[in-house]
Amino acid sequence: MQAAASLSLASSPSSATASRSARFAEYSGSDAFLRPFSSLRLCGLRREVLASRFLHRHWSSRTALSCARRPPRKVSAAATDNGGAAKGFDYDLVIIGAGVGGHGAAIHAVERGLKTAIIEGDIVGGTCVNRGCVPSKALLAVSGRMRELQSEHHLKSLGIQVSASGYDRQAVADHANNLASKIRGNLTNSLKALGVDILTGVGTIVGKQKVKYGKVGFSDTEVTAKDIIIATGSVPFVPKGIEIDGKTVFTSDHALKLEWVPDWIAIVGSGYIGLEFSDVYTALGSEVTFIEALDQLMPGFDPEIGKLAQRILINPRKIDYHTGVFASKITPAKDGKPVTIELIDAKTKAPKDTLEVDAALIATGRAPFTKGLGLENINVVTERGFVPVNERMQVIDANGNLVPHVYCIGDANGKLMLAHAASAQGISVVEQVYGNDNVLNHLSIPAACFTHPEISMVGLTEPQAREKAEKEGFTVSVAKTSFKANTKALAENEGEGLAKMIYRPDTGEILGVHILGLHAADLIHEASNAMALGTPIQDIKFAVHAHPTLSEVLDELFKSAKVDIGTSHAVTEPVPV
């Protein structure tokens, strides 16, 4: 019998990790890629930089992971031109990995006047821009419109007649690919414009405040930095027993290229990636079978929201599912035979079923990419591949001590695998490097799943809040509002949805907010900002919302909460005009 697949992220590189390494190693570009981009020091481009932030961080440059076969060459600070570094160092800050985390840190570092370089071993933009948030949201934009056009009942109730709907697969794929390229370009330009040196090649920490980088077959270059940030991200985690061929059995890396739309696809894992792709595939005509190891679909969500999501996003669609099972063995289609999937009971490991499908998408989480980083040179041992850090993202060594001047942000530390979390951690680290102590409140970081309708959340789920309340001896209350009572949602004929808030009635503290409904991903920020700023319900409920807007769903939510104390400050004080 097959060994049980593990639910936890891999500590050893998965097959996808290995293929990523191969991709790094395969690339052989021109020597020009080895030269640091000599950066223009310009101040007037702040607007462009800010614009690029909205467009999601990104950049371009290609390289290869390198093995140090030749002695490192030394680069002098004079080789670049983005200001002076701290005495005795080439740079104030060197960031390894130009994904969203590295980009956010680099931009903020320049704003703080730090001489900064970013090392990238593949293409600028990392997962989010090239293989994650950006192309997936382009596909989801298409699935959203397809859904609307296919919903005769919905259109009829608005008085709209559409005779037919269809799509051009290659054009949809091009839309996703073009968007990624565009944003990568914008972000690259913004980095160059601000004077961040983009150093191409694989970065390896070689010692205290020392990093080398280079490309296969070329000599490495060594730079010194007062502070180093590791921002090397993650790759898809593929459980043991699953064979990826990239055509019929694949991960999100391949699926985003939309090379074909299978009639029947099994999606292993019903987390963010699984759910978003089920939205895309069913809108484009596929039938989906979920395979989920835990006893319910979407186990990460607040249970009430999960149940509603099942009613809205799963049951009415061409989706069936197996829960409480592992896909213990998956064999790609070959010689006219379909993809075969062997299922075993997640608890007993007894064989349960064998499925034959056209394709399988493996969406079972992501593994940190920390290979080749030289962590052994600073006595750091990873935990299941993740770099151990404290609440300030300072790296912890094998003896439990902080490694001076080394930080790790983003997916590589595993705290919260989200693009904006990576970037926020980077900004927090730069603040510390600059001299301002800064601890990011991870509980106030929102998350969203971009299905139709969307799901969003911030803070604790109801069971988590009740557990905390039990331990700490306080009471928890829950307020709820429905999209059915919202004028704008009804005007759009999109009244399905719920917003729920978990809070402390004794203090008015918001513990968590969960939304399922139209534009939930945009709506969550009023709650997450309130949590980040420590604004209690008795204050935020006096904030005024434009009518008719979806934001009134949250207005109603705050107003319906029963807080035992009055307003904490005089928000109604008259202002002389």
Ligand X SMILES: Cc1cc2nc3c(=O)[nH]c(=O)nc-3n(C[C@H](O)[C@H](O)[C@H](O)COP(=O)(O)OP(=O)(O)OC[C@H]3O[C@@H](n4cnc5c(N)ncnc54)[C@H](O)[C@@H]3O)c2cc1C
Residues with catalytic roles:
547
418 binds ligand NAD (CB under 6 A): yes
305 binds ligand NAD (CB under 6 A): no
Nearer CB in complex with ligand X: 133/511: 133
User: Which residue among 75, 105, 363, 408 contacts ligand NAD (CB under 6 A)?
Assistant: 363
Nearest of 351, 340, 299, 343 to residue 325 by alpha carbon? 343
524 binds ligand NAD (CB under 6 A): no
Whether residue 568 is annotated as binding a ligand: the answer is no
User: Which residue among 229, 268, 524, 563 contacts ligand NAD (CB under 6 A)?
Assistant: 268
Instruction: Decide: helix, strand or coil at residue 178.
Output: helix
Q: Residue 532, exposed/middle/buried by CB under 10 A (0-12, 13-18, 19+)?
A: middle
Least separation in angstroms between residue 449's CB and ligand NAD is: 5
User: Which residue among 326, 407, 483, 558 contacts ligand NAD (CB under 6 A)?
Assistant: 326
User: Which residue among 105, 193, 211, 293 contacts ligand NAD (CB under 6 A)?
Assistant: 293
| Rounded distance between C-alpha atoms, residue 86 and residue 83, angstroms | 10
Nearer CB in complex with ligand X: 191/355: 191
State how beta strands 210-214 and 202-207 pair. Answer: antiparallel
Are 339 and 357 within 8 A, CB to CB?
yes
Part of the chain binding ligand NAD (CB under 6 A), chosen from 17-25, 30-38, 287-295, 384-392: 287-295
Least separation in angstroms between residue 45's CB and ligand NAD is: 29
- Which is it for the CA torsion 310, 298, 514, 461, positive or negative? positive
Where are the strands (E) in 254-303, listed by range? 264-268, 287-292
Q: How many CB atoms sit inside 10 A of residue 177's CB?
A: 17
Whether residue 26 is annotated as binding a ligand: the answer is no
| Rounded distance between C-alpha atoms, residue 404 and residue 394, angstroms | 8
Question: Amino acid identity of 165?
Answer: S
Question: Amino acid identity of 26?
Answer: E
Nearer CB in complex with ligand X: 36/536: 36
- Which does residue 440 touch among ligand NAD, ligand X, none (CB within 5 to 8 A, set by kind)? none
Residue 509, CA distances (Å) to 86, 134, 193, 474 in order: 43, 34, 42, 11
Least separation in angstroms between residue 539's CB and ligand X is: 28
Q: Which residues of 304-321 are buried (b: 16+ CB within 10 A; e: fewer)?
A: bbbebbbebbbeebebeb
Least separation in angstroms between residue 157's CB and ligand NAD is: 29
Part of the chain binding ligand NAD (CB under 6 A), chosen from 16-24, 401-409, 443-451, 501-509: 443-451
- Which does residue 292 touch among ligand X, ligand NAD, none (CB within 5 to 8 A, set by kind)? ligand NAD
141 binds ligand NAD (CB under 6 A): no
Q: Map tokens 């402390």 to a residue.
A: 504
* DSSP string computed for 91-112: EEEEEE--SHHHHHHHHHHHHT
Whether residue 269 is annotated as binding a ligand: the answer is yes
Part of the chain binding ligand NAD (CB under 6 A), chosen from 215-223, 273-281, 304-312, 539-547: 273-281
Question: Amino acid identity of 499?
Answer: A
445 binds ligand NAD (CB under 6 A): no
Instruction: Decide: helix, strand or coil at residue 514.
Output: strand
Task: With residue 253 as reference, give the H or E element that holds it.
Answer: helix 252-255
Whether residue 411 is annotated as binding a ligand: the answer is yes
* DSSP string computed for 425-467: HHHHHHHHHHT------GGG--EEE-SSSEEEEEE--HHHHHH
Part of the chain binding ligand NAD (CB under 6 A), chosen from 49-57, 96-104, 169-177, 357-365: 357-365
Whether residue 271 is annotated as binding a ligand: the answer is yes
Nearer CB in complex with ligand X: 180/540: 180
- Which does residue 344 touch among ligand X, ligand NAD, none (CB within 5 to 8 A, set by kind)? none
Part of the chain binding ligand NAD (CB under 6 A), chosen from 33-41, 179-187, 428-436, 446-454: 446-454
Whether residue 275 is annotated as binding a ligand: the answer is yes
- Which does residue 374 touch among ligand X, ligand NAD, none (CB within 5 to 8 A, set by kind)? none
Looking at residues 157 to 216 of the shown chain, list those that interact with ligand NAD (rule: CB under 6 A). Answer: none
Residue 58, CA distances (Å) to 134, 318, 320 in order: 10, 36, 37
Q: Residue 453, exposed/middle/buried by CB under 10 A (0-12, 13-18, 19+)?
A: buried
Q: Map tokens 């970065």 to a residue.
A: 203
- Which does residue 269 touch among ligand X, ligand NAD, none (CB within 5 to 8 A, set by kind)? ligand NAD
Q: Map tokens 């040196």 to a residue.
A: 197
- Residue 435's Cβ-side half-sphere holds a number of Cα atoms within 13 Å equal to 4
Nearer CB in complex with ligand X: 378/418: 418
Site residues, ligand X (CB under 6 A): 96-102, 119-122, 126-128, 131-133, 136, 202-203, 231-234, 252, 273, 369, 372-373, 410-412, 417-420, 422, 450
- Residue 205's Cβ-side half-sphere holds a number of Cα atoms within 13 Å equal to 31
Least separation in angstroms between residue 412's CB and ligand X is: 6
Least separation in angstroms between residue 267's CB and ligand X is: 12
Are 286 and 261 within 8 A, CB to CB?
yes
417 binds ligand NAD (CB under 6 A): yes
User: Which residue among 114, 412, 448, 498 contacts ligand NAD (CB under 6 A)?
Assistant: 448
Are 82 and 191 within 8 A, CB to CB?
no
Nearer CB in complex with ligand X: 273/518: 273
Whether residue 519 is annotated as binding a ligand: the answer is no
Position closest to ligand NAD via CB? 271
Least separation in angstroms between residue 423's CB and ligand X is: 8
Annotation: binding site for NAD(+) = 269-276, 292, 365
Annotation: binding site for FAD = 137, 203, 232-234, 411, 417-420
Residues binding ligand NAD (CB under 6 A): 5, 7, 239, 268-274, 276, 291-294, 299-300, 326-327, 363-366, 417-418, 447-450
